[in-house]
Each structure stands twice: as C-alpha cells, then as structure tokens.
C-alpha cells in the first residue's frame, strides 16, 4: 500500500517533469521523494481506516463455520471511521449468542468512540434465519448460496466522519518517524487517503481549504498534502496546503512544486489561491493531473 502511494506520487512528479530521486532507506532519515533542483522533499504516508469494513470481515469469518448461516444486516446513520478491536468483538459476540439462542430479529447497540467527532454511534443489527425465509417441502429450508451472509449498509451522514478523517490525516504530522524526516530537510507531508474512510467523497478544492485552515503552525513540515488515487481511474486528485509561518527558504520551491503540478491540471497561476480565513502566505490548491499507471525511477 505504501509502495503504491510512493509510486503514484512519483508518477505525478514525472508527468509534471519535476526531477526527483527516491530517498535512501536504512540510513540517515530522508523523505521518500527528494526533488533534484530544490532543497525540498516529500514524505508519503498511506492510511487505511474503515470501521464497517473491518466489522464486516470479522463477522464473515465468525459465520463461515455455520452450516446454514443467517443473513446479518448491519446499518447505521453516521458512518464510523475507526473502531477498537474490543468493540468489534463485543458486537460479534452478541450476534453469535443471538444466533445460537435462535433469537432472530433486530436489535440496536451503541458503538462508543469518545475520540471521534460523534462520540457514540447507534448500530442496528438485523438477523434473519434463511430457513424461515426460504421454506422447502420438508420444512427444513434452503440457503441462497449467492446471498452474502453479512450485508453492511451505512448512512450518508458524514459530517462527523469527515472531521475524523481530517484528524487522522493531520495526526500523521506528529508521527515520530515522519517528524525525523521533516527535520532532515524541508519536507511536505503527502497522505494517501484513498482508503481512509470516505475521504474520496470530498472535492479536492474543499480538502485544500480544510487542510489550510487546520495545518498547525508548530509542525516541522513545510506543508501537508492529500491524494486520492483509484484503481479504475488514472487521475489521482491532489490537494496541498503550505504552513503560513514556514521558513522563507523552502517556500519558493514549494510554491513552484504546487504550480508545476497544478499546471498539469490546468492551473494558470504561479501563486495558488488562498482560503478566506488564512493568512496571505497560506497556500492551498487542488491538483487533478492524470497519473500514468506505470513508473520508472527518474
């Protein structure tokens, strides 16, 4: 996952004709990508967070050994981003106990997540016995082999969910390993959020503005960026924001990088637009240049 993220970022630079080298591993701290014509690096991080998918896979595994597994439907209004393993274990155990006791039907459980924007999420579980749904002449019932045993349908209330995604993206700024890379040379942190919940649903220009608004001034990084590549589309969306109080020395190179990448997306300004709540030096620009599927080291 991280290798793919680095290759996507490298392909983006290659298409924009920005020369770079991959940083050396196992030696002194270096960013993942180092620009050849500027004292600037890019440190890449990939975040995979999907609470409902984790619960779905755990439930599927728990139900796999049942001869005629029931159909379990999991739904909620607000989509959780992360869950603790203990919380998932509790939900799975409650479902298995009801199945063993023949207690079919629906029940609601609360998912506690005090670290999130929405501290508690109501999760509705519906358990249906396939033998009652599809009766045979002998009364034993038959399962539909093509019907998944676990079905997850989350709501589209995403205000808290996207706030949690923002928090997880910005939390990378304090990762000790990443911070060491930032201290090695002026560095932009680039987070691959393609599998970070539903980050993909927010337009790149909104991501750019949100990152510019929330980028802490005490981070050692020159700026932070977010990219959302997909498997079925060569176009990877990028959003980058620069720290308003970053040292002057790396800013021209950082702004040129944003311009070069933005030029591939049709941008017509060297100085990226600023958010209405940011200082004049805080730059944010969505970048939508297509990325080649293959990559060779430049």
Segment 126-141 shows an average pLDDT of 65
Average pLDDT of the chain, as a whole number: 81
* 3-class secondary-structure state, position 199: helix
pTM of the model: 0.79
Q: Does position 48 have pLDDT exceeding 50, yes or no?
A: yes
In the chain, which ranges are continuous DSSP H helix? Answer: 2-15, 51-63, 85-100, 130-133, 159-171, 176-184, 204-214, 251-264
Residue 191 contacts residue 47 (beta carbons within 8 Å): yes
Q: What pLDDT is attached to residue 188? A: 96
Segment 95-110 shows an average pLDDT of 91
Q: Does position 104 have pLDDT exceeding 50, yes or no?
A: yes
Segment 79-100 shows an average pLDDT of 92
Residue 125 β-bridge partners: 74, 107
Taking the C-alpha atoms of residue 204 and residue 41, their distance in angstroms, rounded to an integer, is 22
Query: To which residue do tokens 């981003």 refer?
Result: 81
Q: Does position 53 have pLDDT exceeding 70, yes or no?
A: yes
- What confidence tier does 268 reach under pLDDT thresholds 50, 70, 90? very low
Residue 290 is given by DSSP the state B
Dump pLDDT digits (tens) for 208-255. Answer: 989 999 999 999 999 999 999 887 766 678 899 999 899 999 999 999
Lowest mean pLDDT segment, chosen from 94-108, 119-133, 176-190: 119-133
Dump pLDDT digits (tens) for 213-223. Answer: 999 999 999 99
Q: What pLDDT is attached to residue 271? A: 44
Q: What percentage of the chain reaches a pLDDT higher than 90?
A: 48
- What confidence tier does 68 reach under pLDDT thresholds 50, 70, 90? confident
Query: What distance, in Å, lies between the first and last C-alpha atoms of the chain?
Result: 21
Q: What pLDDT is attached to residue 283? A: 47
Strands 33-35 and 41-46: antiparallel
Q: What pLDDT is attached to residue 156? A: 77
Q: What pLDDT is attached to residue 139? A: 56
Could you write out the DSSP letters of every residue in 134-195? S--TTS-----TTS-SEEEEEEEE-HHHHHHHHHHHHHGGG-HHHHHHHHHS-EEEEEE-TT
Segment 102-124 shows an average pLDDT of 91
Q: Does position 275 have pLDDT exceeding 60, yes or no?
A: no
Dump pLDDT digits (tens) for 179-210. Answer: 999 999 999 999 999 999 999 999 888 999 89
CA angle 46, 51, 52 (to 5 degrees): 125
Question: Comparing C-alpha atoms, which of 15, 18, 262 is closest to residue 272?
Answer: 262
Q: What pLDDT is attached to residue 145? A: 53
Q: Does position 270 have pLDDT exceeding 80, yes or no?
A: no
């Amino acid at each position: 996952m991280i290798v793919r993220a680095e290759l996507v970022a490298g392909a983006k630079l290659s298409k924009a004709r920005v020369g770079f080298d991959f940083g050396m591993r196992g030696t002194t701290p270096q960013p993942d990508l180092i620009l050849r014509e500027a004292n600037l690096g890019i440190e890449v991080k990939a975040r995979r967070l999907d609470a409902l998918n984790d619960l779905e896979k755990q439930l599927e595994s728990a139900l796999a050994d049942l001869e005629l597994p029931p159909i379990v439907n999991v739904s909620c209004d607000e989509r959780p981003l992360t869950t603790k393993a203990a919380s998932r274990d509790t939900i799975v155990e409650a479902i298995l106990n009801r199945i063993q006791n023949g207690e079919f039907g629906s029940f609601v459980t609360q998912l506690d997540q005090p670290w999130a924007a929405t501290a508690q999420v109501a999760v509705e579980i519906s358990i249906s016995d396939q033998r009652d749904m599809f009766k045979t002449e002998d009364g034993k019932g038959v399962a539909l082999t093509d019907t998944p045993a676990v079905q997850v349908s989350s709501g589209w209330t995403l205000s808290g969910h996207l706030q949690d995604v923002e928090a997880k993206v910005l939390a990378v700024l304090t990762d000790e390993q990443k911070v060491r890379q930032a201290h090695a040379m002026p560095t932009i942190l680039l987070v691959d959020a393609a599998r970070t919940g539903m980050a993909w649903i927010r337009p790149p220009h909104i991501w750019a503005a949100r990152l510019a608004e929330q980028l802490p001034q005490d981070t050692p990084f020159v700026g932070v960026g977010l990219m959302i590549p997909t498997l079925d589309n060569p176009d990877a969306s990028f959003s980058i924001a620069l720290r308003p109080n970053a040292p002057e020395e790396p800013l021209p190179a950082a702004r040129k990088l944003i311009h070069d990448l933005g030029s591939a997306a049709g941008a017509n300004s060297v100085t990226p637009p600023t958010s209405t709540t940011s200082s004049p030096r805080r730059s944010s620009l969505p970048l939508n240049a297509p990325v080649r599927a293959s990559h060779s080291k430049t």
